[in-house]
Amino acid sequence: MWTSSEGSKMFFLDVADPNQVSSANVIIADLGISNKRMLICSGIAIPEWNVFDDGNLYHETAVVNLRRTAMIVNQFAINVGPASFGNGNTNFDFAIDATSLQVDETSQNLLLSVDMTLMGNPSALDRFAYQVVAIVTFQPTGISGTIRWNQTLFDASALPAARIPQLFNVSAGTKVTAPPSGGGFGTTTYTPQASGTTGALALTNGVFSIPYSIPGAPYGELRGRSGRLTYLAVDMIGYRLLHWLDFTNQESLRFIMSAVLISAKVQC
């Protein structure tokens, strides 16, 4: 996001947008310690900040969403330096004053904050390069639950064991509906983000049940992003059941579609 030099406004930059952060890269290292890992994130942030005053110092903060999740930042080291800057032959000042690394309370994404100083008429600080090395504590994420249906709806007792895993395909992903062109209905596209597996089939008092698990579903994706909702998809015998997931409060959910009861619980 571009902001003017007047007033105090933050630059919010996202590594998911190449117009805001270029050459974004990450290395993830397993430390051999439960729920801990090392992250090395680097890139070139593009605040495109400019001022038109060579008699005063201006201070702004750029916040870079690194799109990596963590519960706690245990240790970190940050290196930041100007990558593209200029001045129109006047008094000038370019500075990186301070850096910090926080965890966003809502998305759990890592946020890099960079305090900058600029002076000149004109002066511009268009880009700065960064490298973040952090040891973080994370929590494995996923969705798990059970699919249940009455034996009178579909009797799976006669199926061979090899056919049971083929009954259902479970996944978590996003559904986007594009507006119609020239009237009619829009086009809906479901994109899986994480796939799951099913367990052993059981029959109790005329009700079949089969557990499922979708490990590693990204924490941030479970909560959805602007303009996109996250869905649990269950493909069964040629039909796809979609249900919007709202795990803001990490609650369980149960829903019935086509006489099939599906429960789901998020771990995040």
Question: Domain boundaries in the chain?
Answer: 11-137, 142-267
The pLDDT profile of the chain, 268 residues, written as one tens digit per residue, is 333 344 456 899 999 899 999 999 999 999 998 889 999 999 999 999 999 999 999 999 999 999 898 889 999 999 999 999 999 999 999 999 999 999 988 778 899 999 999 999 999 999 999 999 999 998 776 778 888 888 887 888 888 888 888 778 888 777 677 777 766 677 777 777 778 888 889 999 999 898 988 876 655 555 544 334 456 767 765 555 555 554 443 334 444 445 566 666 666 5
pTM: 0.59
Q: Nearest-CA neighbor of 202 among 148, 144, 141?
A: 148
C-alpha span between 109 and 220 (Å, rounded): 7
Give residue 243's pLDDT.
56
Question: For the chain, how many residues are written?
Answer: 268
> CB neighbours of 160 closer than 8 A, spacing ≥ 6?
none
Q: Nearest-CA neighbor of 223 among 244, 254, 242, 197?
A: 244
Give residue 214's pLDDT.
81
The structure tokens listed for 203 are 């029959």
Give residue 8's pLDDT.
54
Give residue 249's pLDDT.
37
C-alpha span between 215 and 126 (Å, rounded): 41
**What letter represents residue 150's amino acid?**
N
Give residue 189's pLDDT.
75
> CB neighbours of 230 closer than 8 A, spacing ≥ 6?
172, 173, 174, 193, 221, 222, 223, 224, 244, 245
